[in-house]
Amino acid sequence: MKQSVCIGIDMGGTNTAFGFVTKDGNVVAEGNISTTGHHNIDEYIKRLTLAIKEQWGSINQEYQITAIGVGAPSGNYRTRSIEESANLPWQGVIPFCDILEEIFGIPTFITNDANAATLGEQIYGGAKGMQDFVMVTLGTGLGSGYVANGRLIYGHNGLAGELGHTTAIKDGRECGCGKKGCLETYCSATGVKRTAIELMATTNTKSELRDIPYNKLTSKDVAIAANNGDKLAQQVFQITGEILGEALANTVAITGPEAIFLMGGLTKAGDLLFNPLRKSFNKSVMFLFKDCVNILPSAIDGNVAILGAAALAWSEIKESNNG
């Protein structure tokens, strides 16, 4: 009998990567195409289909494809569509699952990238066996996914998990979402950069970062400088960790998770981020949850996004088999 695999598709603003993933999380074949540079969505889908079928052919003897999972910015689990994404080259509502099901003839599921990462952690990562946990992705923005009673919270409109757009600082920084003071304007790659710039304006602390123009400065520069002993850069991570710790303390009081996992570029800063974060969390969290919640880096290495998208497919198949 052929072994089952699910296809995980990670649609990013620049690249679309996909892989054929076994239930155990082995990627037996993979490929990718550019997300941009197509005349329209139909052309993109044609290219993607071609690339997938090519890889499929290479493993066809050994594996059968059971389902497809897609992680995409603004991917909505409930409507099965990509909705008005600000980070993709096409607009409007795209019924992506229906289109792929028509082409491949197998069940297809979609959700946003942070939710896919959450399922990846649950099925293949550090959250195996956990019924209640939170995933926070620290990339350009701040994404999050919540699992309660063993199941991801999609919410009524399919768009739950927007921790990045809860208010961290009243009347604080302008956010791309139209609000002010959103958590992701402080705790994300962009947030780290903005904090560094703000400290350049408000303090006289010497820093190697003062030679880098705004448009060139990245959170990685800040992390490197901090590791080199740059006081201003270190203060940036101190502030970032403090604000994130307070936000996580609030979110813990609501959903009472066993653990919070962090992933994304910013977590590579390691103790620079985790030390002030854990300290601030412990100071802010309600006594009922003290010493109950682990704050951990994601346990997944390798292509998290593909694994996460495949995890969506695997978890949906399991649910439908359970009735």
Residues that bind a second copy (CB under 8 A): 130-132, 144, 146, 148-149, 151, 153-163, 165-167, 170, 177-179, 246, 249-251, 253-258, 284, 286-289, 292-293
CB of 98 to a second copy, least distance (A): 22
Burial class (CB in 10 A: 0-12, 13-18, 19+), 215: exposed
Smallest Cα–Cα separation from 160: which of 126, 121, 119, 112? 112
List phi, psi (to 5°) of 90: -120, 155
Looking at the Cβ atoms of 93 and 286, the one nearer to a second copy is 286
CB of 315 to a second copy, least distance (A): 13
CB of 126 to a second copy, least distance (A): 14
List phi, psi (to 5°) of 9: -115, 125
Looking at the Cβ atoms of 69 and 158, the one nearer to a second copy is 158
CB of 153 to a second copy, least distance (A): 4
Contact 122, 310 (CB under 8 A): no
CB of 149 to a second copy, least distance (A): 5
Contact 165, 171 (CB under 8 A): no
Looking at the Cβ atoms of 221 and 246, the one nearer to a second copy is 246
CB of 215 to a second copy, least distance (A): 27
CA 174 to chain centre: 22
Beta strands in the chain (DSSP E): 3-11, 15-22, 27-34, 63-71, 75-76, 81-83, 93-94, 108-111, 133-138, 142-148, 151-152, 259-263, 294-297
* DSSP one-letter string for 94-153: E-HHHHHHHHH-S-EEEE-HHHHHHHHHHHHSTTTT-SSEEEEEESSSEEEEEEETTEE-
Q: How far is CA 120 from CA 7, 110, 248, in A?
A: 13, 13, 21
CB of 187 to a second copy, least distance (A): 14
Adjacency order of strands within the sheet including 259-263? 151-152, 142-148, 133-138, 259-263, 294-297
